[in-house]
Amino acid sequence: MLKLDGVQAYYGYIHALKDVTLEVPEGKIVTLLGANGAGKTTTLKTISGLMKPQKGKITLDNSSIIGLPPEKIVAKGIVQSPEGRQIFPDLTVEENLRIGAYTRKDKKNISKTFDEVYEYFPILKERKNQEGGTLSGGEQQMLAIGRALMAKPKILLLDEPSLGLAPLIVQNIFKIIKQINEEGTTILLVEQNAMKALAVADYGYILETGKVVQHNFASKLINDDSVKKAYLGE
Ligand code: ATP
């Protein structure tokens, strides 16, 4: 459903994306792996409309989304949960979540989505009147994902959901990512934690200095010697 074809993007003179071609089929979890600075976040920015690629195509169900403003892209069902969480620290958990639903037309169904989000993340329900900034790192990450879910995405873009979290919390977050997918949301997952990402994903792409250098089924990449050596810490 989501396709990138030969996408190139620059920050001034920095050629951040040189050739990104990838597909995110409906119902799957696709992971985008690579070292720091490989271009993972930039790829997500070109999809969510925060950055316009200089070359290449980005299509959702065969229609181009390049040049659309970010809120239109959200309305089409592509919603990003950003790196570093970027929640609103002075707003309560519930207010943060409500903001995620701002582009929805079906306002009367919003309370149902609140229930769904609170089911994935019961801790957010317990803390619903607490200010976002007072949550722990793991809880803020849950809030960022929950806020993205409030928009009822078809495709959820997750930027490093495990960054800086303790191993047990990481485990929990990946379990919930799998659950969200099983309940019908397609996911593009950007991760540094290659092992964990490949364990939940169907397919993986490896990015090096702005180019896709390898892609395959996650079950294949996880057993590939060169991948293990470079990205899985072996
Ligand atoms: P990380 O995991 O460290 O975020 P990444 O794979 O997401 O890495 P990007 O953030 O997409 O990488 O960065 C790709 C390249 O673009 C890097 O060389 C980076 O220095 C550069 N870059 C990213 N953001 C900017 C910016 N706002 N201005 C200039 N250069 C940038």
- Among 10, 41, 44, 192, which is best to mutate for testing ligand 1, by the most ligand atoms less than 8 A from CB? 41
Positive or negative, the Cα torsion across 9, 78, 160, 101? positive
Residue 221's pLDDT is 94
Say whether pLDDT at 16 is over 90.
Answer: yes
Cβ neighbours around 26 below 10 Å, total: 11
Could you tell me which residues are beta bridge partners of residue 33? 191, 206
Residue 233's pLDDT is 58
Residue 63's pLDDT is 95
User: What is the value of pTM for the model shown?
Assistant: 0.93
Task: Report the distance separating Cα 34 and Cα 44, nearest Å.
Answer: 13
Say whether pLDDT at 192 is over 90.
Answer: no
Task: Report the distance separating Cα 75 and Cα 26, nearest Å.
Answer: 17
Say whether pLDDT at 40 is over 80.
Answer: yes
Could you tell me which residues are beta bridge partners of residue 20? 7
- Closest-lying ligand 1 atom to the alpha carbon of residue 83: 4
The answer to whether 88 and 132 are in contact (CB under 8 A) is: yes
Residue 123's pLDDT is 94
Site residues for ligand 1, CB cut-off 6 Å: 11, 14, 16, 34, 36-42
The answer to whether 158 and 188 are in contact (CB under 8 A) is: yes
Say whether pLDDT at 203 is over 70.
Answer: yes
Nearest to 130 by CA among 85, 84, 169, 94: 94
Task: Report the distance separating Cα 62 and Cα 86, nearest Å.
Answer: 31
> 84: pLDDT confidence band, cut at 50, 70 and 90?
low
pLDDT digits (tens, 9 = 90+) for 172-183: 999 999 999 999
pLDDT digits (tens, 9 = 90+) for 132-147: 999 998 899 999 999 9
Positive or negative, the Cα torsion across 200, 111, 72, 25? positive
Across the chain, what does the average pLDDT equal?
A: 92
pLDDT digits (tens, 9 = 90+) for 210-221: 999 999 999 999
pLDDT digits (tens, 9 = 90+) for 87-134: 999 999 999 999 999 888 888 899 999 999 999 999 999 999 999 999
Average pLDDT over residues 162-169: 86
Cβ neighbours around 20 below 10 Å, total: 27
Name the residue with the closest Cα to ligand 1, atom 27.
11
The answer to whether 171 and 177 are in contact (CB under 8 A) is: no
Nearest to 196 by CA among 214, 217, 222: 222
- Closest-lying ligand 1 atom to the alpha carbon of residue 35: 6
